[in-house]
Amino acid sequence: AQTVTQSQPEMSVQEAETVTLSCTYDTSENNYYLFWYKQPPSRQMILVIRQEAYKQQNATENRFSVNFQKAAKSFSLKISDSQLGDTAMYFCAFVVSNTGNQFYFGTGTSLTVIP
Amino acid sequence: KAGVTQTPRYLIKTRGQQVTLSCSPISGHRSVSWYQQTPGQGLQFLFEYFSETQRNKGNFPGRFSGRQFSNSRSEMNVSTLELGDSALYLCASSSIDVLAGGRPGANVLTFGAGSRLTVL
């Protein structure tokens, strides 16, 4: 069975500071992809960043970066220079390669950026 | 390019009724998947349709069903509604992402705004 665990239901960070959101997952598969999605209040879910499991190099997208530890099955998201617009629910997710789009999501971390 | 459109956005039903939700994917996207989002549970996968065929199915009772039409639009139906079916139902569409050399890439989901169902 595939599971995703986000152990931090709520977090807060001061504007311009750095925050790290944790995610662990469990799977017996070797080929998969990992994602972080963001859901702002009353707005649509959007992709933040993705990581291919076969790549050693951690993905980065502007202020967003991940720390992918495949052996530990850990996939944390680091947000640098936090902005008010980063306030949202963040979901960690993964999908096994070549199985279509059956994504497994964590329960989410609610992040509040404090001015 | 229009995004993923879900209708209706809000609806209220009573126990025992049925409901049909609609999703129009991004033009060219052939995969449509549905998720149920509830507080504390995150997103739970319902099913995925690709080229009018159900490709994957989550662990939901048979009261939850869906279909996809030839234009890739999808509907999901919930019959005999229960209080616990109250949730935000999200639809997501995806294109095929093939990397150089034919290696399959990550199919990025593009979500709609959701249909918020309240069962009284």
Q: What is the mean pLDDT of chain B?
A: 90
Which tokens sit at A65?
A: 């970066």
Whether A47 and A64 have beta carbons less than 8 Å apart is answered as no
Q: Which residue of A has its CA nearest to B99?
A: A52
More confident residue, A43 or B12: B12
Which of B109, B111, B115 to mutate: most A Cβ within 10 Å? B109
**pLDDT digits 0-9 by tens, A64-94:** 999 999 999 999 999 999 999 999 999 999 9
**Which residue carries 């209708």 as its tokens?**
B7
Question: Which tops the pLDDT comparison, A69 or B39?
Answer: A69
Nearest CA among B92, B88, B93 for reference residue B115: B88
Q: Is the model more confident about B77 or about A98?
A: B77
How many whole angstroms separate alpha carbon B87 and alpha carbon B42? Answer: 11
Rounded alpha-carbon distances, angstroms, from residue B58 to A100, B44, B102: 13, 8, 28
Tokens 């967003």 correspond to A64
> Are B68 and B79 within 8 A, CB to CB?
no
In this predicted structure, what is the pLDDT of residue B104?
54
How many percent of chain B have pLDDT more than 90?
A: 75
Sign of CA dihedral B67, B69, B72, B76: negative
Measured at the alpha carbon of residue B92, what is the angle toward residues B91 and B97, in degrees to the nearest 5?
165
Mean pLDDT, chain A, integer: 93
pLDDT of residue B88: 96
| Chain A residue with Cα closest to B112 | A44
Interior/surface letters A16-32, b for 16+ CB within 10 angstroms, e for the rest: eeebebbbbbebeeeeb
Helices (H), A47-101: none
Bridge partners (DSSP) of residue B84 are: none
A50-54, A78-82, A99-103: the lowest-pLDDT one: A99-103
Band of residue B75 on the pLDDT scale cut at 50, 70, 90: very high
Chain A residues close to B105, C-beta within 8 Å: 52
Q: Residues with Cβ < 8 Å from B115, sequence gap 6 or more?
A: B6, B7, B8, B9, B10, B11, B21, B88, B89
> Which of A1-10, A36-45, A106-115, B100-109 shows the lowest mean pLDDT across its residues?
B100-109
Displacement of CA B13 from its chain's centroid (Å): 19
Determine which of B107, B110, B115 to mutate to test the interface with A (most A C-beta atoms within 10 Å): B107
What pLDDT, on a 0 to 100 scale, did the predictor assign at position B65? 97
> Is pLDDT larger for residue A18 or for residue B105?
A18
| 3-state SS, one letter per residue, for B4-39 | CEEECCEEEECCCCCEEEEEECCCCCCEEEEEEEEC
Instruction: Tell me the pLDDT band of A42, cut-offs 50, 70 and 90.
Output: confident
State residue A54's pLDDT score: 86
Do B82 and B15 contact (CB within 8 A), yes or no?
yes
d(C-alpha A41, C-alpha A39), whole Å: 7
At residue B100, the pLDDT reads 42
Pairwise CB contact (< 8 Å): A100 & B111: no
